[in-house]
Amino acid sequence: MLKKFVITTALALAMSAGAYAETPRKGGTIRFTAPYGSSFANLDIHTSNRAQDEIWAKAIHRSLYKWDANANKPVLDLAKEVKVSEDGLVYTYKLRDDAYFHNGRKMTADDVIWSLTRQMDGAKAYPGARYVRIIKGAVEVEKGQAKEISGLKKIDDLTIEMTLAEKVDPGFNFYQPMLSIYPADEASKDTFATKPIGLGPFKFVEYVPGSRLVAERWEKFYEPGKPYADRITISIMGEAAARDVAFRNKEVDVSILGPTQYVAYKADPELSKGLLEVAEVYTRVMGLNPNFKPFSDKRVRQAINYAIDADLIIKRLVKDKAYRATSWLPISSPAYDKDMKPYPYDPEKAKQLLAEAGYPEGFEFEWTATSNESWGIPIVEAVIPMLEKVGIKVKIKPVEGTVLSEVARSGNYQAFIWSLTSGPDPLTSLKCFHSATPQSACNYTLFKNPEFDKLLDEAAATDDEAKKLENLKKANAILREEVPMWWFNYNKAVMAHQPWLKGLQPNATELAVQNYEDIWVEASSPAK
């Protein structure tokens, strides 16, 4: 599996590198798709944390950092340099002096401060508040005790000083599209949410709610010669079958594939040439509630991991569009331990562990699941006979996504199956299992382990990158051993693209979210 991942990543990187070796063509139209069901929330990206909205936001807006898919880390975007104090708490950003909003006005430090302060408006509920909270004084603004974030200071028009409340890499927070920098004056107007003005490579032209968004090249974009394309249209296409027809009919340039389509595209000699595969930072798991008596026993949780033949399910049901999970951190995480082995399929060992835990005859539990084909009821149905073999009976509780989210954070479940973000920052991601993290945040299985907490606290405090990684790997190993969840798989995202579309990036945080300025369209595209 790891070998496969290395080859895939190498191929993806080679594709990227290869793409850059070619001379990008100027002009043409990128015809992108937004595949995640619903229409865009609105055109104020500060109000949405959904991947579907990030897809359009990356065309219009820019943040302090951006995600470098090839380096697999956040890099400066609206700032050209940053100086970090010795204690790692004060960041001084020198902003770009060539970043212009789509109304022609130059970006200044005031715009950055206004945009980040807006997130902390206590009367509103901006999802980005959780990321801005790392700045000293941000919480006070959120609580209405201050109007300005004390840790955010304007030094001059193009310099800001950011003092952090805790030692973290702010890049992992401030690359998020929901923290895009707005023009302070225009963004206060009511019309902004329907006619957005940003710093991105494309300028807003038209939005047909529920159908498409169109944007055209911003001539004053700060990266020389970019964007390459004249225009971008982003079509909202939630139905995979409809997307498939449109892609084959050459009406769109990209399509995100599900397991069934993945098999069909791989088997097609032409379509298989245009597949971009990435190990995304999502871990599919079965969360086990320790308040349900059998799951409070580690041996029972381990027995479940031994009793399920995850490899078989990945192969047959997920059609190899996933990588076998060994623990929480995904393959693309810097703290992933490549030597770690997954739980083998061993029903006899599972029976033995159940007997030791006092359940020789097994038990019955309720499993909450959505209808998702890769991590929902179809998977649960495949697991049921495997668990029955060791005496565990399952009752399925079907719910939809919104209910699953509520059930998991309220603890009102015995077991659930879900796909959860496990990156890109391994420290932030592992903090979901820190005993100080409440269930309503992301410690859904109420995990509590003093050794784990200590390793994480040390990793957060240290400046030694090697030691930090070592601690995170050890913490991840504890999760493997303690198994608060059944470690099922890591998502393999697959994007099909037309042969004329070049410069796509293997973005492990979300493949559908691309830096469009790096993409170009060759003359063979039917779109003019």
Partner 1 sequence: MLSFIVRRLLQSLPIILAVAALIFVMFSVIPGTFASSMSDDGRSVLDAEVMARMNKEFGLDDPVYVRFGKYVAQLATFDLGTSFRTRQPVAHVIADRLWPTAQLAFASMLFAILIGVPLGFIAALRPGSWIDTISMVGAVSGLSLPKFWLGLLLMYLFALMLGWLPSFGYGGGDLRYLILPSVALGVAPLALLARTTRAAVLDIMNADFVRTARSKGMSESKVVRWHLTRNALVIILTTIGLQFGTVIGQAVVIEKLFSWPGLGSLLVDSVTLRDIPVVQGSILVIVLLFLLINMLVDVLCAIIDPRIKYT
Q: Which residues bind to partner 1, rule: CB under 8 A? A: 36-39, 41-42, 44, 47-51, 122-127, 129-130, 142, 193-194, 208-212, 235-239, 241-242, 245-246, 248-249, 251, 282, 399-407, 409, 418-421, 432, 438, 440-442, 510
Closest CA to 24 of 500, 506, 528: 500
Q: How far is the CB of 360 from partner 1 (least distance, A)?
A: 35
Q: How far is the CB of 383 from partner 1 (least distance, A)?
A: 19
Q: How far is the CB of 256 from partner 1 (least distance, A)?
A: 13
Distance (Å, rounded) from C-alpha 435 to C-alpha 450?
8
Q: Which is nearer to partner 1, 209 or 360 (CB)?
A: 209
Q: Which is nearer to partner 1, 212 or 231 (CB)?
A: 212
Write the CA distances from 110 to 82, 159, 323, integer angstroms. 17, 10, 45
Which residue type is seen at 227?
P
Q: Which is nearer to partner 1, 39 or 92 (CB)?
A: 39
Q: Which is nearer to partner 1, 24 or 171 (CB)?
A: 171
How far apart are the two ends of the chain, measured CA to CA in Å?
A: 41
Residue 257 forms beta bridges with which residues? none
DSSP H helices, 293-416, are 298-307, 310-316, 347-356, 377-389, 401-410
Write the CA distances from 527 to 237, 356, 382, 521, integer angstroms. 18, 65, 44, 9
Distance (Å, rounded) from C-alpha 456 to C-alpha 474?
9
Q: Which is nearer to partner 1, 126 or 222 (CB)?
A: 126
CA torsion 401-403-407-410 (nearest 10°) is 120
Q: How far is the CB of 215 from partner 1 (least distance, A)?
A: 15
Q: Is the dihedral of CA 426, 58, 24, 97 positive or negative?
A: negative
Q: How far is the CB of 31 from partner 1 (least distance, A)?
A: 10
Closest CA to 43 of 208, 222, 239: 208
Whether 477 contacts 337, CB under 8 Å: yes
Q: Which is nearer to partner 1, 210 or 360 (CB)?
A: 210
Q: Which is nearer to partner 1, 206 or 348 (CB)?
A: 206
Q: Which is nearer to partner 1, 35 or 294 (CB)?
A: 35
Q: Which is nearer to partner 1, 2 or 193 (CB)?
A: 193
DSSP H helices, 190-308, are 240-248, 259-267, 298-307
Q: Which is nearer to partner 1, 127 or 347 (CB)?
A: 127
Q: How far is the CB of 36 from partner 1 (least distance, A)?
A: 7
Q: How far is the CB of 128 from partner 1 (least distance, A)?
A: 9
Which residues are CB-contacts of 364 (< 8 A; sequence separation ≥ 6)? 392, 393, 394, 395
What burial letters (b/e) apply to 235-274, b meaning 16+ CB within 10 Å?
Answer: bbbeeeeebbebbeeeebbbbbbbbebbeebbeeeebeeb
Q: How far is the CB of 179 from partner 1 (least distance, A)?
A: 12
Which residue type is seen at 172?
F
Q: Which is nearer to partner 1, 187 or 307 (CB)?
A: 187
Q: Is the dihedral of CA 396, 399, 401, 407 positive or negative?
A: negative
DSSP classification of residue 273:
G
Q: How far is the CB of 242 from partner 1 (least distance, A)?
A: 5
Whether 233 contacts 208, CB under 8 Å: no
Q: How far is the CB of 374 from partner 1 (least distance, A)?
A: 12
Q: How far is the CB of 132 from partner 1 (least distance, A)?
A: 11
Distance (Å, rounded) from C-alpha 478 to C-alpha 489?
18
